[in-house]
Structure 1
Amino acid sequence: MAEPPERLTRPVGRRPERHWPSALRTLVEEGVLDRTRVLDLCVSRLLRGGLLRNLRLPLETVRLLAPDAEELRARIPDWVGIAADAPSVVAGYAQDVLVELASAGSVPVGALAEMTSGVLFRTEKKLVRAQLALVGKVLAREPGAAGELLPAVTEAFGNEDTDLQERALKLVGRHLDAVDEGVRRELAEAAGLLSPTHRQAAGELFGADLEPEPAPPYEEILPPVPGAQLVPPPATTVEELVAELVVKRLSEDPVAFERALDGLVRHAHRDRAAVEEAVREAFPSAPWEQRTHYFTHTAQGIHVVLAGVLGLLDPTLVEFHRTKGHGADSCLHQALSAVLDARLWEAAALVGTDALPFLLATPTWHTGAIDPLVLVERLRQYREADVEPAPADLAQALLRVPRADPSAGRAAGEADALGTAAGRGLAAWLREEAAVGATVRFLRRDEDKTLRRYHLVDRLVVDAGEHRAVRAEFPPAFQWLGGALEATPRRCHHWIEDRAQWAPVLPADRELLAACLLPTLVGAEGDARGATEPLTALVEAEGPVGRAVLLALACGLGCVDADDRLRAVDAVLVLAARGELDARGLGEELAWLVAEGSVKPNRLADAARTAAATGAYGTVWAILGALLAALPAQAKPVRGLGEILAVAADCVERCGARGEVSGLDALASGRGSSQLMVQAKRLLSALHQGADQPLTETA
């Protein structure tokens, strides 16, 4: 089976005999199942690979059957393939099998060379170290195998761990005399994969055979700045509109959602009867037709507007949701989602009437932003039609207009000239210097004696600040943006389903958006996945980059899930490419997060290594250099700091940065061979190569 039930690998109750692999072994011992057939099936399944949970049954069965030496030798090619490609636990078992066979001289040199190439290409340090040790033992017993095995050993020259590079180089050096000139030249060419810290040792080893090309001047490689994409116009026909409503997953694509919502409003205004008929045909068994309580607590996305087209909504319920505000203790992402709900209830109430010919808040750019001049033109059309803007629609439109847009000044003048209340409101909004912003801070662990605040999310305080215009003029669902929420720590205990729709609420105020995302990012732990999904939209938004944005990026780089960290890496690099990254500020935020244990060094090192591998060594060093300089002095260094130092050293060696980092001398002056001391000395040496220069601040 490609995905066997997981409980097949777990004991049933406390009796060990009630265990599927044990049962299979018993059936083999009793002769009910053929032993060779079972072994072949299990090994074949391990060779096909896949997720570890799907391989536990065949792996445990093979272990319990305990194949003898002859059965293991018969499957050497399979073990080689498993050691190269299987998940770490399974590959470790295959490697142990091959080590046992190789120690007995039962593994052909060619198979061992193939195994070595495959295992040394892996990232697990334990497997790589064990493989280098195995090759060393075989070569000590069979020096003539060096010609086949040493080229495979050079696979470790490109390993991200410089300690493993050094081990491989020393192994090659011990047996270099046993190879001919052709193999020697091949090994010398592979030495170009080594880190700069080992280039000198490689030069001494290979001598004239190693002819390094002069290194070109370092050039920082950053991703291209993503351009703003225009939102396509809404569907031109009712049939096309209904097809979009039926097929597309609108909750996951803000652009598609906004197009569909605007198209629904426009077509219902032109011909409500045609839209109503098409909706009834497309949704013959819709839940809102069957359940009267379907919309009691939430708008259910665009469904509430469809129900409004069909006239199925209770006017009292609609009015309640349109005017509903927030409790002072509401969480920030509930408040973000409620903005969209308020717009949907408003559209449901007005769809198909002269009061809503089209939506003012439909974005013109994929980020959710609206071109100021486009909004002025929309307000002009409203004036000509003698229509007053719907409150929630107008409020969202204002939040989507970037004040820093080059056309903002001209748009303010044209909006004033409209002579309407909405035009004057837009002009005042564009001319206002203070954006709707937020400040973030963290309570000290001992600041509140009445509460036990162990987790960072329990100490996070977000203050949206006082904005009188928002509190006085915006609808209730928007008033939290003016400081209506209490600035206290709050942890969310419910599922977060519509995070894709958060960023378009505040595309012109990046700092406030980041502050709203922080509780989710700071509280992401355990099996949490997808917390960093809004970061892409965050860095493409408008507005200043302050502490909230930097904290959002820092928490993303330390996420448990590798995909979440990768999205955070992309966000950092895009921000750097836009020239908006405060690398020193990000490093300083990471320093205290690492020091207090909220960001694990190994996860941060993995994220930094990924970012550096794209060619952004200068950017990564600017961040890590600031982190190391700001890291508080402790009697006992942070566990795992050596991995961060290794990435930092690699970045410095490649980008040629120079300077001093406070506290680094103390780390490098200790005795021993721990990774922390080795990498500290390596980083210190790299920083002192050439004339001293001040620490890089930006990339």
Structure 2
Amino acid sequence: MIEGEYAVPPPGALADEVAAVLADRRGPGVETFERLLGAVVVHAYRDREALAVALGSVPREFAVRPDPQVACLAGFVGAAVESVRPGESWENAGAGWLELCQHAAVDYIAGARLGELRARLRAGDPVPFPLSVPSGPTGAVEPRHLVERLARYARLGVRPGPADLGQALLRCGGPVDGEAVRAAEKLDLAEGPRVADWLRQGGLPQPAGWRERESGAPERPSRRRGARVGRRILVGHEAIEGRGAFPRRFWSLFRKFEPGIPCPHGSLADFRDAHTIAALPWHPEIAAARLLTGVASAADQDGGRGAPAFLEALAGADGPAGPAVHLAVAYGLASVPRSDRDAAVQALLLLATRGRLDGGLLGRELAELVGLGTLKVALVTESLGAAAAVPQGAAPVWAVLAGALPGLLARTKPQALGALLAVAADSAGLSGARGGLPEVSTLAERPGSSRLLKEARRLRDTLAGH
């Protein structure tokens, strides 16, 4: 039910691991965080006094850290070692919540689930284990695992928490598991019919989306504004049915998302990490769409903060990769922080390995963003060159450049593309690509001996099999 990388360690080992995480400013990965969180909940149910003794040795000076997962784990430690507050009602956790920003919709969901579990610890009404503990590294919950957990709740007479169950349902998806649906129909719980219907429909529907350019004529950065106006491509999505069955803190996710809506956050970096994707592993498009503004800031603002874990998690997610995911990778390939560029290269290669890369789409997005002045050609060239140098990297890089070069040659000063054409010629040769690009052939016919023209001729000849 809860095994593998999420198996619960004994109290002594748990205390050591929690202390190590609280002392580490980098914050835990998804697997570490979910495993330790689940372990605190499990041991609080089995023997709260023994858990309090074990966790009492954890240094409390580490209780406040800027990383949200570290702060959350510290809060769980506090709830586990403090005295029970029987007068508190965990059902009221988050009752005063107010939605401030749709960009943070996924963060609201994570906060609701964690707040509910912690409130149950404080109120002395623990659960045998969280329903939403992932079944694998992406954060996904296997439908059969969820049904097995709910059946155990029913046998023990434990009431599922609405936020914990809601997060578990959002982590279920993929092909319909008929056996799990039939088992859910037999659950001796009030939530059984709802869970069966959810699994029968394959989880949260994929909403229809659209891409749009930021409003306003393109402007260069200014000291007053910082960001480039009118130079970003963003993605929105339509409303999703079914929000009424979830707690109110989940409702932002179901609303229509319009990418141009004002945002009160100075930066969206706090929400851009692998934990964001793990909350919606079957819907990386939703997470990417809502956080593209923050991803773009690392590319078009020198002071932008990177999010390498977010980019790699997008590529490794279980759900489909569409325009938002490909745009996030495009911004990443030209991000100012090198860690983001490296992560975007890995994301590109992972998408290709898993058969989820649309090279033409990524190439067209790169061309348009370079044409708008959002991305720097030199950084795109460096990243694609690094990807092409990896074994089996030449083919996906060529697929991207085949989609990018027509637009780049039409929108960009050709003199800036000599090094990129060299990467294209190398990747085309290594991948055995054949065919032709009219724009490259036209350029190759020009007289001259510049690097640009030499590489255009080399690419033309490579594609012709010469």
TM-score (norm 2): 0.85
Structure 2 distance, partners of 1:340, 1:396, is 8
Structure 2 distance, partners of 1:560, 1:265, is 41
Decide whether the 8 Å contact of 1:258 with 1:362 is kept in 2. Answer: yes
Aligned match of 2:150 in 368, 379, 383? 379
Equivalent AA in structure 2 for residue 256 of structure 1 = T
2:42 pairs with 1:266? yes
Decide whether the 8 Å contact of 1:652 with 1:683 is kept in 2. Answer: yes
Q: Which 10-residue stretch deviates more, 644-653 or 513-522?
A: 513-522
Aligned match of 2:58 in 282, 294, 298? 282
Q: Deviations over 1:424-477 (max 9, x none)?
A: 2222222225624462522355489xxx997268855543421231x2111122
1:6-405 to structure 2, matched below 5 A, reads: 230-235=4-9, 237-248=10-21, 249=24, 251-283=27-59, 300-309=71-80, 310-311=82-83, 322-327=94-99, 330=101, 332=103, 334-351=104-121, 353-354=124-125, 356-404=127-175
Decide whether the 8 Å contact of 1:441 with 1:461 is kept in 2. Answer: yes
Distance 1:430 1:457, change over 3 A: farther
Residue matched to 1:16: none
Equivalent AA in structure 2 for residue 510 of structure 1 = P
Aligned match of 2:238 in 465, 481, 493? 465
Equivalent AA in structure 2 for residue 663 of structure 1 = E
2:375 pairs with 1:599? yes
Q: Deviations over 1:329-386 (max 9, x none)?
A: 5152x33333222222111111274452211001111111111111110010111112
Residue matched to 2:277: 503
Equivalent AA in structure 2 for residue 305 of structure 1 = F
1:589-668 to structure 2, matched below 5 A, reads: 589-615=365-391, 616-631=393-408, 633-634=410-411, 637-638=413-414, 640-668=416-444
Equivalent AA in structure 2 for residue 303 of structure 1 = A
Q: Deviations over 1:500-525 (max 9, x none)?
A: 42121111222223223422211113
Find the residue that maps to 2:438 and give its secondary structure.
coil
Distance 1:276 1:676, change over 3 A: same
Decide whether the 8 Å contact of 2:216 with 2:229 is kept in 1. Answer: no
Decide whether the 8 Å contact of 1:299 with 1:345 is kept in 2. Answer: no
Distance 1:461 1:605, change over 3 A: closer
Distance 1:478 1:320, change over 3 A: same
The alpha carbon displacement at 1:298 in A equals 11
Distance 1:500 1:252, change over 3 A: farther
Equivalent AA in structure 2 for residue 418 of structure 1 = L
Structure 2 distance, partners of 1:473, 1:323, is 16
Q: Which runs of 5+ in 1 are unaligned?
A: 1-228, 289-293, 691-699
Structure 1 distance, partners of 2:308, 2:102, is 18
2:252 pairs with 1:480? yes
Residue matched to 1:4: none
Aligned match of 2:296 in 513, 518, 522? 522
Distance 1:562 1:363, change over 3 A: same
Decide whether the 8 Å contact of 2:409 with 2:439 is kept in 1. Answer: no
Equivalent AA in structure 2 for residue 627 of structure 1 = A
Larger CA Rg, structure 1 vs 2: 1
Distance 1:252 1:299, change over 3 A: closer
Q: Which runs of 5+ in 2 are unaligned?
A: 219-224
Decide whether the 8 Å contact of 1:230 with 1:366 is kept in 2. Answer: no
2:307 pairs with 1:531? yes
Find the residue that maps to 1:640 and give its secondary structure.
helix
* Bigger relative contact order, structure 1 or 2 (CA pairs below 8 A, ≥6 apart): 2
Structure 2 distance, partners of 1:618, 1:298, is 38
Structure 2 distance, partners of 1:317, 1:421, is 20
Decide whether the 8 Å contact of 2:295 with 2:306 is kept in 1. Answer: no
Structure 2 distance, partners of 1:313, 1:639, is 70
2:213 pairs with 1:443? yes
Q: Deviations over 1:637-673 (max 9, x none)?
A: 2552222111111222333322121322332233333
Distance 1:595 1:385, change over 3 A: same
Find the residue that maps to 1:463 and give its secondary structure.
strand
Equivalent AA in structure 2 for residue 683 of structure 1 = L
Find the residue that maps to 2:211 and give its secondary structure.
strand
Structure 1 distance, partners of 2:216, 2:75, is 47
Equivalent AA in structure 2 for residue 241 of structure 1 = L
Distance 1:618 1:279, change over 3 A: closer
Decide whether the 8 Å contact of 1:299 with 1:341 is kept in 2. Answer: no
Distance 1:321 1:523, change over 3 A: farther
The alpha carbon displacement at 1:307 in A equals 2.6
Find the residue that maps to 1:672 and give its secondary structure.
coil
Decide whether the 8 Å contact of 1:342 with 1:392 is kept in 2. Answer: yes
The alpha carbon displacement at 1:313 in A equals 7.9
Q: Deviations over 1:251-275 (max 9, x none)?
A: 3222111111111111111222222
Structure 1 distance, partners of 2:415, 2:105, is 39
Find the residue that maps to 1:302 and give its secondary structure.
helix
Residue matched to 1:580: 356
Aligned match of 1:673 in 449, 452, 465? 449
Distance 1:601 1:613, change over 3 A: same
Identity rate, percent: 33
Structure 1 distance, partners of 2:302, 2:171, is 35
Structure 1 distance, partners of 2:165, 2:388, is 44
Residue matched to 2:221: none
Residue matched to 1:493: 266
Distance 1:675 1:421, change over 3 A: farther
Find the residue that maps to 1:442 and give its secondary structure.
strand
2:228 pairs with 1:455? yes
The alpha carbon displacement at 1:411 in A equals 1.1
Equivalent AA in structure 2 for residue 432 of structure 1 = Q
Residue matched to 1:432: 201
Q: Deviations over 1:663-698 (max 9, x none)?
A: 2233223333332222222212222236xxxxxxxx
Structure 2 distance, partners of 1:589, 1:356, is 47
The alpha carbon displacement at 1:632 in A equals 6.6
Q: CA RMSD in A?
A: 3.3
The alpha carbon displacement at 1:592 in A equals 0.8
TM-score (norm 1): 0.58
2:281 pairs with 1:513? no
Structure 2 distance, partners of 1:672, 1:457, is 36
Structure 2 distance, partners of 1:317, 1:375, is 25
The alpha carbon displacement at 1:497 in A equals 4.2
